[in-house]
Amino acid sequence: MNSPANPSREASHNAPAGCRAGFAIAAWLMAGLLPACVGAVGCGPRETYPVRGVVVFADTQQPARELADYIVTFDSLERRVGGSSPIDGNGGFVLSTLRPGDGAILGRHRVAITPPPRDDGLPDDWLIDRRYGDLKTSGLEVEVGQAPNTLTLTVDRHRGKPAK
């Protein structure tokens, strides 16, 4: 019994013409076009630049220490990528996009700030105006450049009792 030296080549050679075309297209995509497509749609690697900052209250211009564990979220206006960071006990944050602490990609970003998720099923406690919880309504936008970026995000406190 004769066995082919290269079974996959033999199988594709003996396949109907439509299947051979499919094999060729698949090989072409994997070899050259696929990396180009991935980069074009925004899924490929990007260069990031350091971003750190502090959240301050508008009424006092003091660091928002009460917002410890809230989440700062950046969303690029030019590309489909974003980053986030928890706020520390001093009101500070160090943004992560692809790796911990790596920063953000260049360009304009919308910013949202949200309470930490709760495990007990109760509503989130809002110590700041709820508009900051949505990228579309927060009014916070920043420009990330190549140099290390040090930002100040100014927020309004929630009026009255914390919103639930």
Distant-in-sequence, close-in-space partners of 59: CB < 8 Å, separation ≥ 6: 156, 157
Both structure tokens of 62 = 């003091």
Distance, CA of 94 to CA of 85 (rounded, Å): 6
**Do 117 and 151 fall within a single domain?**
yes
**Tens-digit pLDDT string for the chain (164 aa):** 544 444 444 444 444 444 434 433 333 333 333 333 333 344 544 699 999 999 999 999 999 999 999 999 999 999 999 999 999 999 999 999 999 999 999 999 999 999 998 888 777 889 999 999 999 999 999 999 998 999 999 999 988 654 44
Domain annotation covers residue 30: yes
For residue 17, being part of any structural domain is answered with yes
Residue 38 half-sphere exposure toward CB, CA atoms < 13 A: 11
pTM of structure: 0.70
* Distance from chain centroid for Cα 162: 28
Same domain, 55 and 29: no
CA–CA separation, 3 and 73 (whole Å): 59
CA 126 – CA 158 distance, rounded (Å) = 7
Q: Is residue 160 part of a domain?
A: no
81 and 151 share one domain: yes
Regarding whether 144 and 63 lie in a shared domain, the answer is: yes
| Residue 55 DSSP class | E
Query: Which residues fall within 8 angstroms of residue 61, CB to CB, at 6 or more apart?
Result: 154
Instruction: Give the C-alpha separation, 85 to 58, whole Å.
Output: 21
Q: What is the pLDDT of residue 160?
A: 62
- Per the structure, the count of domains in the chain is 2
**Are 29 and 58 contained in the same domain?**
no
Residue 164: CB atoms within 10 Å: 8
Same domain (yes/no): 60, 86: yes
Check whether residue 109 and residue 32 sit in a common domain: no
Residue 55 has a CB neighbour count (10 Å cut-off) of 27
**CATH number, domain containing residue 101:** 2.60.40
Range of the domain at 13: 7-41
CA dist 118 and 121 (Å) reads 6
Residues 55 and 31 in one domain: no
Same domain, 26 and 106: no
State residue 122's pLDDT score.
79
Residue 120 has a pLDDT of: 86
User: Cβ distance 111 to 143 under 8 Å?
Assistant: no
The reported pLDDT for the residue numbered 124 is: 82
Whether residue 161 lies inside any domain: the answer is no
